[in-house]
């Protein structure tokens, strides 16, 4: 049986128990403000290896270290540029991950053998309390099998990873619903590797122009920007994107159509789902909706393409990857 403990806040006794499991090399899934993470002691290579095994994650894809303070982050980076300091002052704790040259303290497996490390201080009281109680940085990718949908509640973790996890801390549904923005500060120019809740304009307002990396890495390829596989975040159902208001002429099988702001007339038998034309609200809801449609046995989900403006950038990125068909 999967062990799942409800956790009411940072003082809950479950957090101490979870920290004990982490310090003895175990895996604990925990809530953050973005998605649930699959945590291990980030300084214990064997524990981090279990993360890779349980997720089925390629060894070329490094993991994020979660810290509770700027001081802990600094100890894990060999350089801490002024940009890192002002961004951390402004956005930590919060959904911003910074990629920096790694210090000698970071095990090779965390970096997937590369020279840099991804660092993030999450804005969730349970996550912060857990990092503090463990007294270690926690390695934590999203708590799902590799390439699948990220979990936004404890139930998603249990159904994706089940008994492979020693403990799941249930802190209710996550707030942002999409993974953190990843900003690479290890090169000559600041570069967004993954768009997320913190928009390019928010970063640019503080550190000046940032590049947006829009490439993709296909399976087996050497990863210049690790983990940016084109197919990712995918539900079991086939996912198709259509123009807003396009509707459907005909459909076979169990099909859901997700409209943004309005719902066009649909063929009989198609389940219409209306989401608001509001990027934050859709971001918070989208993974849970796709999980629900998978669980309900839908074969195909047709989603209206989000608007082109920056507010929808992270969502467009996730939906594009989620709708990318399997490479043969
Ligand atoms: O919101 C989040 O970031 C969540 C929560 C749990 O914190 N975590 C998360 O982790 O999304 P994961 O492993 O699912 O995605 C992390 C991404 C991967 O695409 C990985 O390739 C990239 O971060 N990454 C990790 N270390 C890196 C590094 N040193 N350089 C470049 N990319 C890195
Ligand atoms: Mg992930």
pLDDT tens-digit readout, 31-52: 999 999 999 999 999 999 999 9
Q: What is the pLDDT of residue 119?
A: 98
**To which H or E segment does residue 39 belong?**
strand 37-41
Ligand 1 pocket mutation pick from 100, 227, 322 by most atoms within 8 angstroms of CB:
227
Ligand 1 pocket test: which of 118, 122, 213 has the largest number of ligand atoms within 8 Å of its C-beta? 118
Q: What is the pLDDT of residues 259-308, one digit of tens each?
A: 999 999 999 999 999 999 999 999 999 999 999 999 999 999 999 999 99
CATH 3.90.870.10 in the chain, residues? 3-212
Asked whether 6 and 170 are in contact (CB, 8 A), the reply is: yes
pLDDT, residue 215, reads 63
DSSP annotation of 150 reads P
Q: How far apart are CA 218 and CA 236, in angstroms?
A: 19
Phi-psi region of 233 (alpha: psi -120 to 50; beta: other; left: phi over 0): left
How far away, in angstroms, is 64 Cα from ligand 1 center?
5
**Ligand 1 atom with the shortest distance to the CA of 63:** 25
**Cα–Cα distance, 12 to 129 (Å, whole number):** 9
Rounded to 10 degrees, the C-alpha dihedral 87/93/96/97 comes to 100
User: Given this model, what pLDDT does residue 207 score?
Assistant: 97
| Nearest-atom index, ligand 1, CA of 227 | 21
Q: What is the DSSP code string of 231-251?
A: S-SB-SSEEEEE-TT---S--
**Residue range 12-40: mean pLDDT, rounded:** 98
pLDDT for residue 219: 44
Model confidence over 310-321: pLDDT tens digits?
Answer: 999 999 999 998
Q: What is the pTM of this model?
A: 0.95
The CATH code for residues 3-212 is 3.90.870.10
Taking only the tens place, the pLDDT of each residue in 202-237 is 999 999 999 988 765 444 444 445 556 677 888 999
Atom of ligand 1 nearest to the CA of 223: 21
pLDDT at 27 over 80: yes
Confidence grade of residue 181 (pLDDT, cut at 50, 70, 90): very high
pLDDT of residue 233: 85
Closest ligand (CA of 148): 2
Element (H, E) at 54: helix 45-55
Mean pLDDT of the chain: 93
């Amino acid at each position: 049986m999967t062990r799942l403990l409800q956790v009411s806040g940072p003082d809950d006794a479950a957090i101490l128990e979870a920290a004990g499991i982490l310090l003895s090399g175990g895996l604990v899934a925990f809530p953050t403000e973005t998605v649930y993470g699959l945590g291990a002691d980030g300084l214990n290579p064997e524990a981090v290896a279990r993360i890779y095994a349980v997720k089925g994650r390629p060894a070329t894809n490094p993991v994020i270290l979660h810290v509770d303070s700027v001081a802990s982050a600094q100890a894990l980076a060999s350089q801490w540029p002024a940009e890192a300091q002002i961004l951390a002052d402004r956005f930590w704790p919060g959904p911003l991950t910074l990629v920096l040259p790694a210090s000698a303290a970071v095990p090779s497996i965390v970096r997937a053998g590369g020279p840099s490390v991804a660092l993030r201080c999450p804005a969730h009281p349970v996550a912060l309390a857990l990092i503090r109680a463990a007294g270690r940085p926690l390695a934590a990718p999203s708590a799902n099998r590799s390439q699948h949908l990220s979990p936004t509640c404890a139930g998603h973790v249990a159904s994706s990873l089940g008994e492979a996890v020693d403990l799941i801390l249930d802190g209710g549904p996550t707030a942002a619903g999409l993974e953190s923005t990843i900003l690479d500060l290890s090169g000559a120019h600041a570069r967004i590797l993954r768009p997320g809740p913190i928009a390019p304009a928010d970063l640019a307002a503080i550190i000046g122009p940032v590049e947006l990396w829009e490439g993709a890495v296909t399976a087996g390829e050497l990863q210049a920007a690790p983990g940016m596989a084109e197919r990712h975040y995918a539900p079991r159902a086939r996912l198709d994107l259509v123009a807003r208001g396009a509707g459907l002429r005909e459909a076979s099988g169990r099909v859901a159509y997700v409209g943004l702001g309005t719902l066009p007339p649909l063929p009989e038998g198609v389940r219409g789902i209306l989401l608001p034309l509001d990027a934050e609200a859709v971001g918070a809801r989208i993974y849970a909706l796709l999980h629900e449609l998978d669980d309900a046995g839908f074969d195909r989900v047709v989603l209206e393409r989000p608007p082109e403006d920056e507010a929808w950038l992270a969502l467009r990125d996730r939906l594009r990857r989620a709708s990318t068909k399997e490479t043969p």
